[in-house]
Amino acid sequence: MSNLNIDAIKKRSFDAIVIGSGISGGWSAKELCDKGLKTLLLERGPNVEHIVDYPTAMMDPWDFKYDKQMPRDYLKANTIGGRPHNFQEDSAHFYVKDSEHPYLQDKPFDWIRGYQVGGKGLMWARGTQRWSKYDFEGPARDGFSIEWPISYDELAPWYSHVEIFAGISGNRDGLEQLPDGEFLPPHEQTCVEKHFSETMAKKYKNTRPAIIGRCAHLTEPKPIHLKQGRGKCVNRNLCQRGCPHGGYFSSNSSTIPWARMTGKLTLRHDSVVHSIIFDEKKNKAIGVRVVDRQTKAISEYFAKIIFVNAATINSNLVLLNSKSRRFPNGLGNDNGLLGKYMHFHNFRTTISAEYEGMLDRMSAGNRPNGSYIPRFRNVFKQETDFLRGYAAGLYTGRMTYNDTEGLLGEELKESLSHRKYGNWYVGSHMMGETIPKEESRVWLDDKQVDAWGVPLLNISIDFDENDNKMIEDFHVQMSEMYSAAGFSNIKTHHTPNEPPGGDIHEMGGIRMGKDPKTSLLNKWNQLHHCPNVIVSDGACMTTNSTQNPSLTFMAIAARAANHAVEELKKGNL
């Protein structure tokens, strides 16, 4: 019988376990497999195979029952999961239903989730900007959080590493506050975006650039991308359905197939991770406890190193629920800070306008990208009454309409067949940096559990006065910039009662730092008090800057995985 038990444990033993198959988990698995480690990749949701499991990818508009709109009853039942801008009939199957995955809101928070192989990386907006040294040095300079334990120079080679493999489209703009990367050819700005960029360069002497966005799209695939089985982005702009061409980066089309090619990957979907198993005698983590999503059967898997990439809030949940006599308040939580200092991006406001010039031109076709205005407030020195700053998107196009007044029958039909063009529309959204605060936190409920026996999570995260001041400044500065470009009918749009979470950029709770008294992870993303557990998704982020976070998640995950392999070889883990 003992031999049978040993054989069973061997079958469930690996060199490494990765929890979560989204953007960072895919990178962890890919790097570990590349280094020859037998790796188990766990995903709590169902399998999604690239191309095969994108059911709406090739559907025409008339194939949809509700013209891509969701039924009213569905939206009433999913007031949280139905909020994202790209949630519609063609993508709803990638979002979780509110009733199936409840949580508790001490303060209103929209926890948007995608539980399947690939995670939210099938629906992400694909913006990929590097951080600069000013982002990493911000806390030390401004005193608004603990210091980052890593610098831009330390992460820069890993930015290059993931950019080359993932494929990032962009222009080399030479901006100190937004470092250039390893770019594929950029998309093109519209004529109005170019006009705005040129105006900003003259008026603000190149301190407020407006550049083409940087995004994870293969505008010109290289051999490394073809080897992954991916093809060129054809600008369908239907990315939320899953791209059958592999034109944008996802775990499904890129890192997971690559890891499989090594022969070292085992992917187990429908596996809800309950907790990490800590061995008191060995004083280290030895495996994970898993609940089968469908049968509810419990099983355990074992490994020398464990990577937590379950997405920020779920990564916090896993560690909080990993209790032992050594860690009664959650794995690695000696300082009581696990689940605290959460942060996110402030997306609560936009600005719109019209432009009456260039009416001899029009926008045509699709472009899965827009222009981008990097942060220009408090970058090099403190200059406002709020901390940190914001970036902004910029998108333009020709307004179209049909002149149908007083028309009937054949004349109406003829008019509807021919669009007329009006002025250019202009729009920008703000992406503001929020301040990590101890009261912004998540914790386990002590009574209620979900369908898999995992305690429900309480969330208490909110905006503050710094966020409100930032919004006011955005309105003033962007209105001034719009006016300088000759835009008219300038309007600001603010949703003060909108809860946080809709940005889907939550970070923190298991933050990196130099001091175990004030942080959970060291500079290599290892838990200070359980170093064979590595957290390298958004939960590790000390602060959040103004850039889209996914590229930084990728770089951190790749760096952490490679370091862990080296430590494993040295016998340190």
Express each pLDDT in 523-552 by its tens digit.
999 999 999 999 999 999 999 999 999 999
The predicted pLDDT at position 405 comes to 79
Q: Exposed, middle or buried, 3 (CB in 10 Å: 0-12/13-18/19+)?
A: exposed
φ/ψ of residue 533, rounded to 5: -110, 125
Residue 129, helix vs strand vs coil: coil
Rounded average pLDDT over 9-34: 96
Place 379 in a pLDDT band, splitting at 50, 70 and 90: very high
The predicted pLDDT at position 4 comes to 52
Q: How high does pLDDT run on average in the chain?
A: 95
pLDDT single digits (tens) 286-314: 999 999 999 999 999 999 999 999 999 99
The predicted pLDDT at position 3 comes to 56
Q: How many alpha carbons lie under 13 Å from residue 350 in its C-beta half-sphere? A: 9
Rounded average pLDDT over 177-198: 97
Contact 522, 528 (CB under 8 A): yes
The predicted pLDDT at position 448 comes to 98
Its sign, for the CA torsion 398, 399, 403, 404, is: positive
Calculated CA dihedral for residues 311, 317, 318, 324, nearest 10 degrees: 160
Angle, helix 133-142 to helix 152-166, in steps of 10 degrees: 150
The predicted pLDDT at position 418 comes to 81
Q: Exposed, middle or buried, 364 (CB in 10 Å: 0-12/13-18/19+)?
A: exposed
Residue 44, pLDDT above cutoff 80: yes
The predicted pLDDT at position 124 comes to 95
DSSP bridge partners of 215: 127, 169
Tokens of 102: 């409840």
The predicted pLDDT at position 123 comes to 94
Q: Give the whole-angstrom CA distance, residue 112 versus residue 505.
A: 10
Tokens of 528: 């200070």
Its sign, for the CA torsion 207, 211, 215, 220, is: negative
DSSP for 310-342, written as a single string: S-HHHHHHHHHT---SS-TTSTT-TTS-TTEEE
- The CATH label, of 3.30.70.60, 3.40.50.150, 3.50.50.60, 1.10.1740.10, for the domain at 11-59+113-164+249-341+507-573 is 3.50.50.60
Contact 219, 251 (CB under 8 A): no
pLDDT single digits (tens) 46-56: 999 999 999 99
Contact 549, 131 (CB under 8 A): no
The predicted pLDDT at position 366 comes to 85
- pTM given for the model: 0.96
Cα angle, residue 436 at apex, residues 495 and 328 outer, rounded to 5°:
120
**Domain segments of the chain: what residues?**
11-59+113-164+249-341+507-573
Q: Give the whole-angstrom CA distance, residue 471 versus residue 460.
A: 22
DSSP bridge partners of 287: 277, 302
Rounded average pLDDT over 385-400: 96
Q: Residue 382's CB: how many other CB atoms inside 10 A?
A: 12
Residues 6+ apart with CB under 8 A from 90: 56, 59, 64, 68, 238, 240, 241
Angle, helix 191-203 to helix 465-484, in steps of 10 degrees: 100
Q: Give the whole-angstrom CA distance, residue 251 versus residue 117.
A: 8
Residue 33, pLDDT above cutoff 80: yes
Per the listing, tokens 């030895």 go with: 286
pLDDT single digits (tens) 337-365: 999 999 999 999 999 999 999 999 988 77
Rounded average pLDDT over 150-160: 98
Residue 507, pLDDT above cutoff 50: yes
Angle, helix 152-166 to helix 550-569, in steps of 10 degrees: 100
DSSP for 6-47, written as a single string: HHHHHHTEEEEEEE--SHHHHHHHHHHHHTT--EEEE-SS--
Contact 400, 421 (CB under 8 A): yes
Place 81 in a pLDDT band, splitting at 50, 70 and 90: confident
pLDDT single digits (tens) 261-279: 999 999 999 999 999 999 9
The DSSP secondary-structure symbol of 146 reads P
Q: Are strands 13-19 and 298-308 parallel, antiparallel or unpaired?
A: parallel
Residue 227, pLDDT above cutoff 90: yes
The predicted pLDDT at position 530 comes to 98
The predicted pLDDT at position 1 comes to 43
DSSP for 160-228, written as a single string: HHHHHHH-EE-----BTTB---SEEPPPPPPHHHHHHHHHHHHHTTTSS--EE--BSB-SS--HHHHHT
What is the percent of the chain where pLDDT is above 90?
88
Q: Are strands 420-433 and 349-355 parallel, antiparallel or unpaired?
A: antiparallel
Rounded average pLDDT over 483-492: 98
The predicted pLDDT at position 40 comes to 98
Tokens of 37: 């480690």
Q: Give the whole-angstrom CA distance, residue 313 versus residue 111.
A: 9
Q: Residue 242's CB: how many other CB atoms inside 10 A?
A: 27
- In angstroms and rounded to an integer, the radius of gyration of the C-alpha atoms of the chain is 24
- What distance lies between CA 16 and its chain's CA centroid? 24
Residue 406, pLDDT above cutoff 50: yes
Closest CA to 441 of 514, 344, 527: 344
DSSP bridge partners of 533: 306
Q: Dmax of the chain from CA atoms?
A: 87
The predicted pLDDT at position 159 comes to 98
Residues 6+ apart with CB under 8 A from 166: 128, 216, 249, 254, 554
Residue 378, helix vs strand vs coil: coil
